[in-house]
Structure 1
Amino acid sequence: MKKDIHRYEDIINMPRPVTKKHPQMARQARAIQFAPFAALTGHKERIVEAERLTTQKKELDASQQEIINRKLQQLLRNIDDCPEVTITYFIADLIKTGGKYITITGQVKKVDSCEKRIVLLNGTIVKISDICQIEILSSSNEYNG
């Protein structure tokens, strides 16, 4: 054991060898090599995700549901005119429980009763069960009510 302690005594206090072929790197340059290292990969992303808020889907009462149903019937009667609507609907979050409400304005291309959805001209598809409010914006008196 004592022999191992004295094994490197002859070189331990010698200066670091310097060559012209491989010049010594500056301390700042050496430090930059280790800057991208992240001990907790994904930690920041998880914190951001935990801070992101979601909203619970509201359950509509019977009168609110009746108003939406009446407006859907109006849309069905006037679908050939591609009425313009503003719809507020719920989109479920893919990661967390809950989701968010989105309001979109566009022209209705089709009300699909079988699939229970509204298709807008811009390609947006809204499930009828996710609608919490719908306003018909077309100027015709037939749409208001």
Structure 2
Amino acid sequence: MTDNYDDIINLPRHISKRHPQMSLYNRAAQFAPFAALTGYGAAIAETARQTSPKIEMMEDDRQLMDRKLSFLSSHLEEEPTISITFFQPDGRKTGGHYLTITGIVKAIRTNERIIIMKDRKKISIDAIVGLEGELFSPNKL
């Protein structure tokens, strides 16, 4: 049985003299997916990004935090190393993240309600949920 293409099946591939061959890169680009909805991928990634709600401290915890801040402010000249856990609000959606930084506190500005670290980072006192360090050992506090 003979097929319709038996007469041309073994011929070499025709190479045009008028049109140059397309590179493999350009041929692949023709079949690559395209972004029909611009920004859709970014919107999905933003929706999938997780944030945590801000936890309100109990009154007892807030009082302990105030005592620690007062104690810390009276011992700044010792330059103690302190770990501060605080809530960083998210700039795009509700919630945020809890961060912990460790360093030396340079100043506490109670009128502005901020702590300034030696590396010049500023932390809102109202965002702080934890203060830890050797300075706060039970026999000192």
Offset of residue 19 of structure 1: 5.8
Unaligned runs of 5+ in 1: 1-17
Which residue of structure 2 lines up, in the alignment, with residue 73 of structure 1?
70
Which residue of structure 1 lines up, in the alignment, with residue 32 of structure 2?
35
C-alpha distance after superposition, 1:19-49 (max 9, x if no partner): 6343253787334146363112221211111
The 3 A distance-change label for structure 1 pair 26 and 73 is closer
Three-state SS of the structure 1 residue aligned to 2:70 is helix
Alignment check: 8 A CA contact 1:86 1:137 kept: no
Q: How does 1:120-135 map to 2 (within 5 A)?
A: 120-135=117-132
**2:136 paired with 1:144:** no
The TM-score with structure 2 as length reference comes to 0.77
**2:99 paired with 1:102:** yes
C-alpha distance after superposition, 1:73-93 (max 9, x if no partner): 111111111221111100000
Percent of pairs identical after alignment? 38
Letter of the 1:99 partner, please give it. G
Pick from 17, 33, 50 the counterpart of residue 20 of structure 1. 17
Which residue of structure 2 lines up, in the alignment, with residue 52 of structure 1?
49
The 3 A distance-change label for structure 1 pair 69 and 106 is same
C-alpha distance after superposition, 1:41-73 (max 9, x if no partner): 221211111111111111111100011100101
Offset of residue 99 of structure 1: 0.5
* 1-structure distance, mates of 2:76, 2:24: 72
* 2-structure distance, mates of 1:50, 1:31: 31
* 2-structure distance, mates of 1:27, 1:109: 61
What RMSD over aligned residues (CA atoms) do the two structures have, in Å?
A: 2.6
Aligned residue pair count: 127
Q: Which moved more, 1:62-71 or 1:43-52?
A: 43-52
Letter of the 2:123 partner, please give it. V
The 3 A distance-change label for structure 1 pair 57 and 142 is closer
Letter of the 1:91 partner, please give it. Q
Three-state SS of the structure 1 residue aligned to 2:106 is strand
